Structure 1
Amino acid sequence: MKLTLGFSPCPNDTFIFDALVNKKIDTGDIAVEVVLEDVQTLNEWALQGKLDITKISYGVLPLVLNKYIVLPAGGALGKGVGPLLITHAGGISADKVKDSTIAIPGEHTTAHMLFSLAFPEAGHKKFTLFSQIEDAVIHETVDAGVIIHENRFTYQDKGLVKLMDLGEYWETQTGSPIPLGGIVMKRTYDAALQQQVNTLIRASVEYAFSNYPLITDYVKQHSQEMSEGVMRQHIDLYVNNYSIDLGADGKAAVQQFLDIYSRVHSTSLSKQAIFLEG
């Protein structure tokens, strides 16, 4: 059976899926057709139900629960891994954020949810491709920006300064790890196939860890000219035991995220099961 699979070209995702995509593990009768896209595009596609299996921001999960179920393997969740709010040297202070223009990496991203939790009164948001946010702050087309992924490691080299670690804010408020991105699969597939796919993703992560710190050609090919050091920082930050299996505390963190989303947006969520069990 061939299934469409979407994830980002970032090192953490290519690291996780390399063995599955390139058949370094036995995939049995399952073949995947891979689509590499930025997370905001994947979020938008998830809203449309376009792909069979896809990486999403947990920020969009409340809106796709009717179409997709969360697989326990392959996601990004942890402590000290959250998005950062930055500005340029001599830029705004944190108390000016609510009246300033802020670049956000997509409307339905976890970064947006965490920013909104920290700054509920901020009304001047500019949704921007994550890789363009640093430049927008540098050129002062925005007052500040929320950065994710590899930009966490490079912003200081460009003279930018941190206003707030939004992940730290989440952890202080909730005591939970930060749900960044998860892997979801269409509910229209039966549970046995969903379990088979989850088992393959878990095996792919375990295979990658068993060969780490090797950076494979597949990861390098999509790494946007990062140094191997930055690739490893990326992997070390976003791939961990929660990527092998969410476990009870990981699922509790995601549930807490959904509860806060529901409260912030004054909306009730789908009553369907959130996670694939078993």
Structure 2
Amino acid sequence: MKDTLIIQISDTHLTSMGNKPSFNQRLDPYDKLSLVFADIKKIKKKPEFIVVTGDLIHEGNATDYAHLREILHYKEQELGTPIFVLLGNHDRTEAFYHGFLQKSVKNKYYHKVSVNGKDNYFLDTTFGNIEQGYLDKEQLDWLGENLKKEPKRPALIFMHHPIAGASLHHMRFSVLQNGADLLRVCRQGNIQGIFSGHVHFSTTYSIDGILNSVAESTAYHIDCRDKHQHYVSDASGYSIITLSDKMEIGVENRYLYCGQETIKKIDVAQTDFIDLKTIM
């Protein structure tokens, strides 16, 4: 049996030039990202690819994204592994297009990459600058059309906002607001796993027979066990996704640093889904 590895990094929240680290981080988020890449370098098996699932820069500008482009290009050369990125709610689309992609700005950044007999879909769940995630009709139609072309071909989805699952009951106000729409589209193909971030703690759950895996943040951890008050601590982690030749999936959550001090408290008034009229 030949295993394939995919590395998922999420919520790096790199500090924009001239600003302080977000959420009162004590350790520099660039140093935390360096810890992650140093740990990846120790893995003997070469990953198929690395994906950073959003919140790349904490509300940065084009110069910040250009700097990130340089860092990731260097890491691609060093590791011999392609690195893909997608956007989160703290990213700024226009700055990303100008600084990272160096292309004309589009409303959404999504694409598909086919590797070793499977399709990998990188989706854009951002909606303006609001916290919640939402997948527009254009992306859902695009995904459905692609899945229908080869409905039995194994596929994975990577996105920033997770679908609300059993372990995210208190987070429905913040996650993907139209997860049911995505799941309906997924039934048209052979989606094996959905990988996301956003909530800053790792968890896994199954919906409609699809593994949903949420990665720990590279920048800071959020304890969301208290329904109406969440606690932030410095932390750094990432995920190693293992796929067998039969598309059996396993996820290892790698923790490189776990601070015990609460560096910020977040008050949460309501925890249910928001009114979609706010988005529409």
Considering fraction of residues, name the structure with more strand.
2
Normalization by structure 1: what TM-score?
0.25
Higher relative contact order (CA 8 A, sep 6+): 1
Considering fraction of residues, name the structure with more helix.
1
Normalization by structure 2: what TM-score?
0.25
